[in-house]
Amino acid sequence: MSLSNRAKAILASLSIVITIIVSGQYIYYNKFNAYQVYMNGKPLAYVKNKEDFYNVEKNIEKDLEKRFGKITLKDDITFKEVSIKNENIADSSVIKNSIIKNSRTSIPTVLMKSDGREVGVLANESEMIKVLDIIKNEYKEKDKDGTFKLNNRITYVKQDTNIKDISTIEETIKIAKENPSNPLICFSKEKETNGVQNVSLSRSLSVTSFVSFPSKGTITSPFGMRWGKMHNGIDIGAPMGDPIHAAMDGKVVYAKWEDGYGKVIKIDHGVGVQTVYGHCSNIDVNEGQQVKKGENIGKVGSTGNSTGPHVHFEVRVDGAPQDPLKYLK
């Protein structure tokens, strides 16, 4: 082989080697090392592997389940192989925020309102009660000897809400207090009476009554006109199944279902005074039974015409409804 041909052969071999090396490097540096996630057809984030995304998605579902029960995110997820720098790969917190922000999943919630003004979107009535209790306790911490009542009319609307628009209890409390001069939710101190009230009876008799709250909770609706009709008692919001206590010593004269009230207990305290406990989930006393103040008589419920767990509490004098707050200790 001539020198010229040998040189050509060497150059050809070198060209092949260089091509292989360059091609190998190109393949090495351009092979995919991540996935681009698409949610409902839109780019969401870059992840190292598919499992990273699905693990975050499962954790979101578990967090929602604690408040709302079993939840499955309803989104179309696809992946595309990509080659990117490692610093562009999203961590779990970024993935979580992106999923919540872009998911089209909606779940049943309650929109909490105070005097018609929106406060927050929560899971259920129990979370609403917790919000009220926490705010009320802040008032109590400032004045441990005081008894406080809610100054607002609390209502709610059941609705389906996208997960990005759901409030936490902490966020709801913050919104309720963010304007100190005109808060969405506030309590005021009751006038001190030491629990002693003079109840005037139609037959010119009087009885000194020591009336205690029938349930731990927050007054969510006061005595008086409501929605164009007379509300003959107060509503005390409390968790489902919480105990209901007799407000005074007396005799159970009614313990069964009644239209509107659902499962209701009526206790006669003598000299024309009667207390009523409505919407019970369970009745734990019998008609004719004598009970003492503070004794468990039933459990908080939402039976009858009720929009959530609470005790409808009435004080009647000679059959006429009175404002229970005048007599409560």
Label residue 254 exposed, middle or buried (CB < 10 Å: 0-12, 13-18, 19+): middle
Q: pLDDT in tens for each of the 329 residues of the chain?
A: 555 666 666 666 666 656 665 555 554 455 678 999 999 999 999 999 999 999 999 999 999 999 998 999 999 999 999 999 989 999 999 999 999 999 999 999 999 998 889 999 999 877 887 898 899 888 888 877 767 778 888 888 889 999 999 999 999 999 999 988 889 998 887 654 444 344 443 332 333 344 678 998 888 888 887 766 788 899 999 999 999 999 888 899 999 999 889 999 999 987 678 999 999 999 999 999 999 888 999 999 999 988 889 999 999 887 888 888 877 65
Domain boundaries, the chain: 34-104, 108-189, 197-326
Q: What b/e readout covers 216-233, taking b as 16+ CB neighbours within 10 angstroms?
A: ebbbbbbbeeeeeeebbb
**197-326 has CATH 3.40.50.300 classification:** no
Beta-sheet strand order (sheet of 282-283):
243-245, 296-299, 282-283
